[in-house]
Chains A and B, each alone.
Chain A
Amino acid sequence: MNTALKNIRRSPFQALSAVFIISLTLFVVGIFSLVTLASHAILLNFETKPQIIAYLKDGHTTDQVAGLISTMTTTQGVKNAIYISKQDALEIYKKSVGNDPVLLGTVTDWGIVTADILPASVEITASDPGVFNTIVSILEKSDIVSTTPQGKKEIDFPQDVISELTKWTNAIRGAGLVLIIALTVVCILTIMIIISMKISGRRTEISTLKLLGAQNLYIIKPYITESIIYGLSGALFGWIFSFIALLYSTPFLAPRLGGVISFPIPFWIYLFLLIGLLAFGLILSLTSSLFAAARFVKRSR
């Protein structure tokens, strides 16, 4: 450890560049991990909500609804189909508007919002966004689904929000992964070059150690320790930067993602992130220093 610390003190700029590149890599890893977690939460939120809503004509019978539900549930790719009565619709409405007297109609001329003015509906959740069109075409053929004055069936079909969201999430994940891989490679190369330079700079000393009977492990140990110090301190800085970045972006994110992700983010997530980054930093530094050391061992006698 003392030799490793001495090596770091002797070439502070090399140490600084190693720690900087590891911090940057792990900062990006940290941010993308949080983005991935957030996008997963957003997707989950969308997936748990009904994806297709078909509003029903007044005067439909229970048998007709049961028939439609049965058709839906037996369609491949449909996860769930439920009937929302007028009364249920009112409850959902009240829940969504809270105690707002304007929206509840208690202070307007329209009178209080009642179940009568709300349509009954069938809400369908699909496990595969690819079956959306099939579901919509079945619903369009149904007699109990109400029609707009323009002659269109009243089906709330949020287009392919989920598939769009999935596409974007995957694109972000893909870009993040490519960036992380590129930074990891740069990181490994930087540490390898620094450690190789240090080993080369002490070639004479190393050859003396070998002549004195030192084994390769004894010789490379200080360099591996040095690399581990880079990796762990880089991980710590990367985590601190991620923490600060998230802290500063919380006022911007909280109102936009408030319903999906709870802010402030619980500390255990930060703790897991720290452990993950430390593990990644350790693997990164060990891999690169072992590569550098392996080259030395191969060349030395």
Chain B
Amino acid sequence: MLDDINFSVSPGEFVIITGRSGAGKTTLGRLLIHDLSPTKGKIVIDGEDLSKIKPNNISLIRRKVGFVFQDYKIIPDKTVGENIAIALEIGGYNRKKIGEKIIRLLDMVGIPGKGDLFPGQLSGGEVQRAAIARAIACEPAILFADEPTGNLDKDTSIEIFKLLQKINDDGTTVILATHDVTLIGLNPDRNIHLEKGKIISDVDGLPAGKEGKPPIKTHFEKKHKTTSNSS
């Protein structure tokens, strides 16, 4: 459940959303891709109010927001390459370009030559990289990564974080939802901390109290409210 939250993210920002399980991090992501609708308030992406969007255009919004799912949502009976190809097909790429693009994406996320392998043949970190490759395949303006390191060891988590930073450096706005304390200390940009669906702090750099930086934006206006069982 999210309640009384109000914040905006500028293009090119790298924002970490932190909070315990059930704080509303996943709900926030699902609101962004219109998988859930707010009961009140509005969500605006690139000037488009999601509450007014026509059902036929929901898919267009989803193509603007790349999503790395907590449970990867990689299709198990398709190869890594096919999984990425699906996202590219949805994005309207032609077959010829798809092949080239897959090779580049696999190189970029650090799993070159693994396009013909099935997800079951990869390690957790490699599947996560494949999921990231799929999420950024259509060059979305925003990348929302929901607990991308939830099932990974510390070193792999840091590698994934660096990968997200690299994607951010290339101009993509990255929103990372995590409760992984390892990552919280690595973000130089902005951290939003949620608790029980409310924003507790919105700070530039590390969370308030950890490095002593003051919060730059915190809103408690009753803007939107939605419920979800996800964390």
Residues of A within 8 A of B (CB): 205, 208-215, 218, 301
Q: List B contacts of A208 (CB < 8 A).
A: 73, 75
Q: Which single residue of chain A is at the shortest CB-CB distance from B66?
A: A212
Q: Are A213 and B91 in contact (CB under 8 A)?
A: yes
Q: Are A212 and B35 in contact (CB under 8 A)?
A: no
Q: List B contacts of A209 (CB < 8 A).
A: 86, 90
Q: List A contacts of B75 (CB < 8 A).
A: 205, 208
Closest Cβ of chain A to B48, distance in Å, is 14
User: Can you sample 26 A-B contacts with CB below 8 Å?
Assistant: A208-B73, A209-B86, A209-B90, A210-B62, A211-B35, A211-B62, A211-B69, A211-B73, A212-B63, A212-B87, A212-B90, A213-B59, A213-B61, A213-B62, A213-B63, A213-B90, A213-B91, A213-B138, A214-B59, A214-B86, A214-B90, A215-B56, A215-B59, A215-B90, A218-B89, A218-B90
Closest Cβ of chain B to A167, distance in Å, is 55
- How many B residues touch A, CB cutoff 8 Å? 20
Q: List B contacts of A215 (CB < 8 A).
A: 56, 59, 90
Closest Cβ of chain B to A85, distance in Å, is 81
Q: Are B67 and A211 in contact (CB under 8 A)?
A: yes
In the complex, B152 has a CB within 8 A of chain A: no
Q: Are A213 and B86 in contact (CB under 8 A)?
A: no
Q: Which single residue of chain A is at the shortest CB-CB distance from B75?
A: A205
Q: List B contacts of A205 (CB < 8 A).
A: 75
In the complex, B60 has a CB within 8 A of chain A: yes
Q: List A contacts of B35 (CB < 8 A).
A: 211, 301
Give the most central of A205, A210, A213: most B CB within 10 Å: A213
Query: Would you call the interface of chain B mostly helix, strand, loop, or mixed?
Result: helix
With the chains together, A242 CA to B9 CA distance in Å? Answer: 68
With the chains together, A218 CA to B87 CA distance in Å? Answer: 11
Residues of B within 8 A of A (CB): 33, 35, 56, 58-63, 67, 69, 73, 75, 86-87, 89-91, 134, 138
Query: Would you call the interface of chain A mostly helix, strand, loop, or mixed?
Result: helix
With the chains together, A211 CA to B67 CA distance in Å? Answer: 8
With the chains together, A209 CA to B67 CA distance in Å? Answer: 12
With the chains together, A224 CA to B35 CA distance in Å? Answer: 26
Q: Are A212 and B134 in contact (CB under 8 A)?
A: yes
Closest 8 CB pairs of A and B: A213-B62, A213-B63, A208-B73, A213-B59, A214-B90, A215-B59, A205-B75, A213-B90
Given contacts A211-B69, A301-B35, 4 further A-B contacts (CB under 8 A): A210-B59, A211-B62, A212-B63, A212-B86
With the chains together, A301 CA to B58 CA distance in Å? Answer: 9
Q: Which single residue of chain A is at the shortest CB-CB distance from B56?
A: A215
Closest Cβ of chain A to B27, distance in Å, is 14
Closest Cβ of chain B to A297, distance in Å, is 10
With the chains together, A214 CA to B58 CA distance in Å? Answer: 9
Q: List B contacts of A211 (CB < 8 A).
A: 33, 35, 62, 67, 69, 73
With the chains together, A208 CA to B89 CA distance in Å? Answer: 14
With the chains together, A215 CA to B54 CA distance in Å? Answer: 13
Q: List A contacts of B67 (CB < 8 A).
A: 211-212
Q: Which single residue of chain B is at the shortest CB-CB distance from A215?
A: B59
Closest Cβ of chain A to B133, distance in Å, is 13
Q: List B contacts of A218 (CB < 8 A).
A: 89-90
Closest Cβ of chain B to A57, distance in Å, is 86
Q: Which single residue of chain B is at the shortest CB-CB distance from A218?
A: B90
With the chains together, A72 CA to B60 CA distance in Å? Answer: 78
With the chains together, A208 CA to B75 CA distance in Å? Answer: 8
Q: List B contacts of A210 (CB < 8 A).
A: 59, 62
Q: List A contacts of B91 (CB < 8 A).
A: 213
Give the most central of B58, B63, B86: most A CB within 10 Å: B86
Q: List A contacts of B59 (CB < 8 A).
A: 210, 213-215
Closest Cβ of chain A to B192, distance in Å, is 23
With the chains together, A25 CA to B45 CA distance in Å? Answer: 53
Closest Cβ of chain B to A291, distance in Å, is 20
With the chains together, A214 CA to B73 CA distance in Å? Answer: 14
Q: List B contacts of A212 (CB < 8 A).
A: 62-63, 67, 86-87, 90, 134
With the chains together, A205 CA to B67 CA distance in Å? Answer: 15
Closest Cβ of chain B to A219, distance in Å, is 10
